[in-house]
Amino acid sequence: MSITMEPNLQLNAVVENLNPFDNALSQLDVAVSHLGLDPNIHEILKYPQSQMTVHFPVKMDSEIIRVYTGYRVQHNRSRGPCKGGIRFSPNVDEDEVKALAMLMTWKCALLNVPFGGAKGAVTCDPRTLSLSETERLTRRFTSEIINFIGPEVDIPAPDMGTNAQTMAWMMDTYSMGKGRTVPACVTGKPVSIGGSEGRSDATGRGIVFVTREALKEWKMDITDITVAVQGFGNVGGVAARIFHEMGAKVVAVSDAVNGIYDPKGLDIPSLIACANRDGSLTNSRTGEPIGSKELLELKVDVLVPAAIENQITESNAHTIKARVVVEGANGPTTPGADQILRENDVFLIPDILANGGGVVVSYFEWVQDLQFFFWSEQQVNSKMEDIMTNAYREVRATALHEGVNMRLAAYLIAVRRVSDATSLRGIYP
């Protein structure tokens, strides 16, 4: 007897898995099997080494008390202390933080900065919090995890929904708890309290550096290209600005609510002024409106998804017409979509390479704080440029040598480095 599935069950059977931790594990699986890695090492790498969940009260401006949930996950510390951002976002959960912590391990290994990966988050909507509520939430969260982090242990940084001010409050709370000023306990701080020159632009600038390297494949220069950027925060907004400054034609940008398109090229400085003034692109007077999903489908040379995870999925990957996709966000492309892009000859620069400029300059900031000796912006930018360009070339050479795509090539280098560190150190006791 044959059993016929109901049509909706058949549909369910092919629904794409968007769980970020499952997707991170499946990317690891592919790298491990290509490397022929020891299954014992694979087993170690699948799990975060430690994680902490906290539930903590915050007094709101109305005097009401709300309980928030926060996480800090340390994926792997075989190459050094853990490193990674803290995000404030309404839907963030444990699996997202675990996935992002694992990505940080690969990112730090690929860029060869001496850190393992971590990530933290508080489930909250920062747009609905006042400045003083945000400060109380940040300080209380920091004090909840104070013994889990530290300059030699785990060093947070900004991520989605957090910024230099958040890091200043974290540094102050940590320092108050320890009874001395500890600038190296977080990176991405304002320059006046031990932050690094060039840190706030670093992720966006790094995106432009790796794009410039990739364009050499087609004998193209930044001044020849059209660009669309999804996300107009510290990653997308800065990347759009630097592309524009370097002569590219940025034809579309979008923030969480609005997108703007002008095939003749947008006036990026005026859009940045508008976003700084109003907190959104709503009142900008240039270009025509475009949805942030439609933006992804534009026929441009370079598409930079720099907003959130799971933007290019199996359902829209076949609509991508860009020649190059540069992953500004962490995990914007699902593994299924990755394969579709590959079949359609879309060249993808993976997140752990493309957006690594931020953690590279975070490393410089940490070094400067530990030495109490500070560098000029020009020194920071040129050292970061070397690291990003060399990492790009290494990944490209591996991709060509192994006959694999850029994501797998980046994973091969990164996973191999972490696996070597684990084997060399051996298993304690």
Measured from the CB atom, is 105 or 226 closer to ligand GLU? 105
Q: How far is the CB of 405 from ligand GLU (least distance, A)?
A: 21
Edge-to-edge strand list for the sheet holding 116-123: 50-59, 65-76, 116-123, 82-89, 154-158
| Residue 335 in contact with ligand GLU, rule: CB under 6 A | no
b/e for 167-186, b at 16 or more Cβ within 10 A? bbbbbbbbeeeeeeebbbbb
Q: Which of 134, 166, 187, 334 binds ligand GLU (CB under 6 A)?
A: 187
Cα torsion through 203, 205, 207, 208, rounded to 10 = 170
Measured from the CB atom, is 158 or 335 closer to ligand GLU? 158
| Residue 354 in contact with ligand GLU, rule: CB under 6 A | no
| Residue 419 in contact with ligand GLU, rule: CB under 6 A | no
Environment class of residue 108 by beta-carbon count within 10 Å: exposed (0-12), middle (13-18) or buried (19+)? Answer: buried
| Residue 180 to residue 174: CA distance in whole angstroms | 9
Of the candidates 223, 105, 83, the one whose C-alpha atom is nearest the C-alpha of residue 154 is 83
Interface positions, 84-103, toward ligand GLU (CB under 6 A): 84-85
CB 326 within 8 Å of CB 302:
yes
Q: How far is the CB of 292 from ligand GLU (least distance, A)?
A: 20
Q: How far is the CB of 281 from ligand GLU (least distance, A)?
A: 23
CB 360 within 8 Å of CB 386:
no
Where do runs of H (alpha helix) occur along 111-219?
Answer: 131-144, 164-178, 199-215
Scanning 259-267, 357-365, 371-379, 416-424 for contacts with ligand GLU by CB under 6 A, the matching segment is 357-365
Half-sphere exposure of 333 (CA within 13 A, CB side): 28
Which residue among the candidates 98, 119, 189, 249 is catalytic per the annotation? 119
| Residue 70 to residue 90: CA distance in whole angstroms | 11
| Residue 73 to residue 148: CA distance in whole angstroms | 10
| Residue 309 in contact with ligand GLU, rule: CB under 6 A | no
Query: Residue of minimal CB distance from ligand GLU?
Result: 85
Q: How far is the CB of 44 from ligand GLU (least distance, A)?
A: 22
Scanning 26-34, 68-76, 217-225, 354-362 for contacts with ligand GLU by CB under 6 A, the matching segment is 354-362
293 is known as an active-site residue: no
Q: How far is the CB of 333 from ligand GLU (least distance, A)?
A: 16
Interface positions, 24-83, toward ligand GLU (CB under 6 A): 83
Binding region for ligand GLU (CB under 6 A) = 83-85, 157, 159, 187, 330, 355, 358-359, 362
Residues with catalytic function: 119
